[in-house]
Amino acid sequence: MSEERSLNFLEEIVEEDLAAGKNNGRVLTRFPPEPNGYLHIGHAKSICLNFGLAQRYGGQTNLRFDDTNPSKEETEYVDSIKEDVKWLGFNWANEFYASDYFDNLYEFAVGLIKKGLAYVDDSTAEEIASQKGTPTEPGTPNQYRSRSVEENLQLFAEMKDGKYPDGAKVLRAKIDLASPNMLMRDPLMYRIKHTHHHRTGDKWCIYPMYDFAHGESDAIEEITHSVCTLEFVSHRELYNWFIEKLDIFPSKQYEFARLNLNYTVMSKRKLLQLVEEKQVEGWDDPRMPTISGLRRRGYTPASIREFCERIGVAKRENMIDVSLLEFCIREDLNKTAWRRMAVLDPIKMVITNYPEGQTEMLFSENNPEVEGGEGGRELPFSNELWIEREDFMEEPPKKFFRLGVGLMVRLKSAYIVKCESFVKDADGHVTEIHCTYIPESKSQNDTSGIHVKGTIHWVSVPHAKTAEVRLYDRLFKVEDPSNEDGDFKDYINPNSLQVLNNVYIEPDLANAIPGKGYQFMRKGYFTVDKNPAADKLVFNRTVTLKDGWVKK
C-alpha cells in the first residue's frame, strides 16, 4: 500500500478532529451490514475504508449487524459476513446487532413522545404518502398529529404489546411537514410487523426503521465517525435531529461514493435473484462479485485490499473498470503463485530419438520471481508428452515461433526439440506430432549452441494426471446491466463459464494446496476449487496472464 499518497477527505476530517481534541483522541468506526445477503466487492470497499481509517489513527471498528428488518435476515448471512471480514484481514473490536438495542430504541422513542416529538399515526401508507406533499408543496397535517402525549404513550405501548395488526399504526417523528427535505416530513420511526426475528424471536412485533435505528445505534456505541455511501446524504439531517433531540452521544455521519464495477451487478437483491434463479451456482460462484465468489475464484485478500486502496475514496459516483481488479490480482499472484505446467487442449508429441520407457527427473523452480525460487519440484520427462494443440501448425506462417515441420522450440525446463513430421486421422485431424530432441540442449546445462525463440509447456504422458479446468469470463455482456432496457438478467453473458474436461496436469499439481494460487504457465493463474469432486481435481482460472512468456 502506498503510504505516501495524499490524505483522502475522510482522513482529513479525522486529522482535524484529532487536532481539535475531539472525542478525547478516540476514533471508533463501524461496518454495518444488513444480513440479507453475502458481502460483495462494494462492501469490501466499505470494510477497507472503515477498518483502515480506524487502524491508521490507532482506533477500532465495530462489526454491527443492521438486523432491524426481521423478514429477511438469516443466520447463514451473519456467518458468511463474519467469515468474509476476517478473511479480508480485519478484526472487529465488538460484534454487535442493532437488535441488541431494541430496548434502548424503544425507550428513546418513548422519550421523544414525552417531549411531544413523536406521535402514533393510524393512516395507511398511501394516506401518509399523499399527505406528505411534494418537494415544492408542503405536506398537510392529519388529525393524529395533534394527539396528546398520554394518548401516544398508551397507543405506542399497545402497538408493542401486539394489540394491532401489521400496518394498522406507525410511530412518526413530529418534525416539519414543510421541510424542503422530504425525509424530515414526519418520518416513520416504528412499524408493526408480527414477524419472528432471528435473534429476538417473538419478543417484538414493532420494529424500528433504519433512520431511527442507525444513528441511535452509532450513538449507543459512541461511534465517532459513521461512514456511509452517498445515498444517505439527505438522511444526515434526520440522523442529527434524532441525536440532538435525544441528547445522546454525537456520532457524525460522513458520506463517500459507492463502488460501482462494470460488467457486473452489485445489489444484494439482484445477486440473490441470480442465486435463486440458478443463473449461477450460488453466492460463491466464481463469477459473482461477492467476496466469497472472488475467494473461490482465487483472489487473495491482499489483492482486494490493494484494489480498494487504488480506487481511493471519492465523493462522486463513478464506474470502476474490472480490469483494475484483475490487474491487482495479477500483480499479487505474479509474486506468490507457484509455476506449474498444465495442458488445456492436448495433442501428443512423440520424441522419436528418446529411449522408450525411460523417465528422467528434471527440476524446476516454484517461483522464479523470488530469490531462491521458493524451492521447486521434480518434473518427469519421457518420450511422450502432451503439448498444447495451438502450439503446432500444419502450415505455420512466418514468425510462428512454435512447432511446424522443421521448426524448433524449447520445452520448458527440458530440451530443445525439432518437429519432423505429424500424423493425421481419417478425418484429416492432426493426432500426433513427431519430434527429435537435442540431448546437449538440456536447460541449465545447454551446450548445444542452438538458439530458439519459443518456449512451450508440456506434461509427460505416462506421468500426467487429469483435471477439470473452469475458465471464466464476465458474467454480463454489457458494462452496466442495471442501466439497460428490460431486465438486467437479459444481459447475462451465455459464455461466462467454459469447462474443460480433458486437461493434463503435471503430477505435482495433484497435491495443489487449497487457497493457493498457481500459475499454469502461459495459461493464467488458477486455484483448486473449494468443492472437492470425488473423482477429479477441479481448477478455477482466477485470471489470464497479461501476456505469455516474458522474454528473458
Strand order in the sheet with 188-192: 118-121, 170-173, 188-192, 206-208
Measured CA to CA, the distance from residue 272 to residue 268 in angstroms comes to: 6
Task: Give the dihedral of Cα atoms 195, 196, 201, 207; nearest 10 deg.
Answer: -30
Among 75, 124, 267, 318, binds ligand ATP (CB under 6 A): 267
339 is catalytic: no
In this chain, which of 214, 225, 268, 287 binds ligand ATP, going by CB under 6 A?
Answer: 268
3-state secondary structure (DSSP) of residue 256: strand
Segment interacting with ligand ATP, rule: CB under 6 A, options 12-20, 42-50, 421-429, 536-544: 42-50
Please, what is the minimum distance in Å from the beta carbon of residue 56 to Mg ion?
26
Options 34, 151, 326, 479, the catalytic residue: 34
The option from ligand ATP, Mg ion, none interacting with 186 (CB < 5 to 8 A, set by class) reads none
Annotated binding-site residue? 45: yes
* Smaller CB separation from Mg ion, 266 or 461: 266
Quote the least distance from Cβ 197 to Mg ion, whole Å. Answer: 17
Say if CB 38 and CB 271 are below 8 A apart: yes
Consult the annotation and say whether 443 binds a ligand.
no
Say if residue 35 carries a ligand binding annotation. yes
Closest separation between CB of residue 229 and Mg ion, Å?
9
Q: Is 225 annotated as a binding residue?
A: no
Q: In degrees rounded to 5, what are phi and psi of residue 161?
A: -80, 0
| 216 neighbors 108 (Cβ within 8 angstroms) | yes
Considering only CA atoms, which of 413, 347, 420 is closest in space to residue 384?
Answer: 347
Residue 132 or 199: the one with the smaller Cβ distance to ligand ATP is: 199
Report the site for ligand ATP in 44-83 (rule: CB under 6 A).
Answer: 45-46, 66
- Per the structure block, which three cell numbers stand in for 378? 521434480
Residue 266, annotated ligand binder? yes
Sheet holding 28-31, edge to edge: 28-31, 60-65, 95-97
Task: Give per-residue burial for 101-124: e unless 16+ CB within 10 Å, then b.
Answer: bbeebbebbbebbeeebbbbbebe
The binder of ligand ATP chosen from 13, 93, 188, 266 (CB under 6 A):
266
Q: Least CB distance from residue 49 to ligand ATP, whole Å?
A: 8
**In this structure, are residues 225 and 204 in contact, taking their beta carbons and an 8 Å threshold?**
no
Q: How far is the CB of 287 from ligand ATP (least distance, A)?
A: 17
What is the nearest approach in angstroms of Mg ion to the Cβ of residue 263?
Answer: 23
Instruction: Give yes or no for residue 228 binding ligand ATP (CB under 6 A).
Output: yes
- How far apart are CB 295 and ligand ATP at their closest, in Å? 18
Whichever of 42 and 70 has its CB closer to ligand ATP, that residue is 42
Of 132, 258, 465, 530, catalytic? 258
CA angle 539, 521, 448 (to 5 degrees): 150
229 near ligand ATP, judged by CB under 6 A: yes
258 catalytic? Reply is yes
Q: Measured from the CB of residue 137, what is the shortest distance to Mg ion in angstroms?
A: 30
Nearer to ligand ATP, 482 or 493 (CB): 482
CA 466, CA 222: separation in Å to the nearest integer? Answer: 57
442 included as an active-site residue: no
Is residue 393 marked as binding?
no
Q: What are 265-273's contacts with CB under 8 Å, separation 24+?
A: 265/289, 265/476, 265/481, 265/482, 265/488, 266/40, 266/41, 266/42, 267/482, 268/34, 268/36, 268/37, 268/38, 268/40, 269/37, 270/482, 270/488, 271/37, 271/38, 271/40, 272/37, 273/489
Residues touching ligand ATP, count (CB under 6 A): 15
Q: What does the alpha-carbon distance between residue 284 and residue 2 come to, in Å, rounded to a whole number?
A: 30
Q: Is 40 annotated as contributing to ligand binding? A: yes
Closest to ligand ATP by CB, 119 or 256: 256
The Cα–Cα gap between 350 and 156 comes to 85
Is the Cβ of residue 290 or residue 413 nearer to ligand ATP in the bound state? Answer: 290
Residues 6 or more apart in contact with residue 534 via CB below 8 angstroms: none
Task: Note the residues at the interface with Mg ion (CB under 5 A).
Answer: 34
Q: Is 208 in the site for ligand ATP (CB under 6 A)?
A: no
CB proximity list for 427: less than 8 A, separation 6 or greater: none
Contacts of ligand ATP in 14-33 (CB under 6 A): 32-33
Rounded CA separation 92/83 (Å): 12
When the beta carbons of 34 and 83 are compared against Mg ion, the nearer one is 34
Residue 229 assigned ligand-binding role: yes
Residue 544 interacting with ligand ATP (CB under 6 A): no
Three-state DSSP class for residue 393: coil
Is residue 210 part of an annotated ligand binding site?
Answer: yes
Ramachandran quadrant class, 23 (left: phi over 0; alpha: psi -120 to 50; beta: rest): left
**158 versus 231: smaller Cβ distance to ligand ATP:** 231
Collapsing DSSP to helix, strand or coil, 384 comes out as strand
Which one from 268, 295, 330, 402 is the annotated catalytic residue?
Answer: 268
Tell me the binding residues for ATP: 34-36, 40-46, 229, 258-259, 266-268
Q: Which residues form the catalytic set?
A: 34, 258, 268
Contacts with ligand ATP, residue ranges (CB under 6 A): 32-34, 42-43, 45-46, 66, 228-229, 258-259, 266-268
Tell me the binding residues for L-glutamine: 66, 210
